[in-house]
Structure 1
Amino acid sequence: MLKGLGGLGGLGDMAKMMKAAQEMQTKMAEMQEQLASTVVMGEAGAGLVKARVTAKGEVTGLDIDPSILVASEKEVVEDLIVAAIKDAQAKGQQKMADEMRRMTEALGLPADMKLPF
């Protein structure tokens, strides 16, 4: 009767795949939470400006050396702030990519596979 469907073996494989997908979703949610609370530091001007950013890219703080806070250097300070934020965001993106690679490898997937999440 069910010969054409290959018996029930196919349903067991489907159940395993569904369970694996649910586990992956749970792990992805946990990783997203972890990345939201992971803070990376970026800097510019040899450390005169430092930016704190979550691994997801949210700026959480700045540290500006008071020696550069002179009205005549306003544009330089602005440029350093932008550069520090970009540096921190790049580090955050790298941290996220490393975590994704680690997760895909743990799931037995190719390290360079892009997950749709």
Structure 2
Amino acid sequence: MEKQSVKSMEEMIKAAQAAAETIQKQMTESQSKLDGIEVEGAAGGGLVKIRCSAKGRIIGVAIDDSLMQPSEKGILEDLIAAAFNDARAKADEVAGQEMARMQSGMGLPPGFKLPGM
């Protein structure tokens, strides 16, 4: 019987390693997917727009021509920061939804924090 319990233990360890490899692969795929999802943050009624990936990578900045005056410099700087924060919040929301979807697909309980996430 001891040989059988050692064999069972080895099988459990192999199964756990396989599960960990599967989770790692899914996490890598999800991170790649997040970098392909775009969100847009805006400020000043759309005068400044920032596009970024759901992973947080800035893709582009659009500034309305009306803000391109030296006297508007301070306002423009504030609007860029606000648009970035809006885009980042949207990116975080989308990333959270994608991670929740991935975790539910793996049978993990909602809110479970994977290491490195």
Question: Structure 1 length as normaliser, TM-score?
Answer: 0.89
CA distance in 1, matches of 2:97, 2:2: 46
Q: Which amino acid aligns with 2:9?
A: G
**Aligned structure 1 segments of 4 or more residues deviating by more than 3 angstroms:** none
RMSD: 1.7
CA distance in 2, matches of 1:24, 1:67: 49
Question: Which secondary structure state, in structure 2, belongs to the residue aligned with residue 111 of structure 1?
Answer: coil
CA contact (8 A) 1:102 1:111 kept: no
Shift of 1:83: 0.5
1:62-104: CA deviations, max 9, x gaps? Answer: 1111122222111001100111011111111111111111111
Unaligned runs of 5+ in 1: none
Partner of 1:94: 93
CA distance in 1, matches of 2:77, 2:44: 11
Aligned pair count reads 116
Unaligned runs of 5+ in 2: none
Matching of residue 78 in structure 1 with residue 77 in structure 2: yes
Partner of 1:19: 18
CA distance in 2, matches of 1:7, 1:71: 76
Structure number with the higher helix fraction is 2
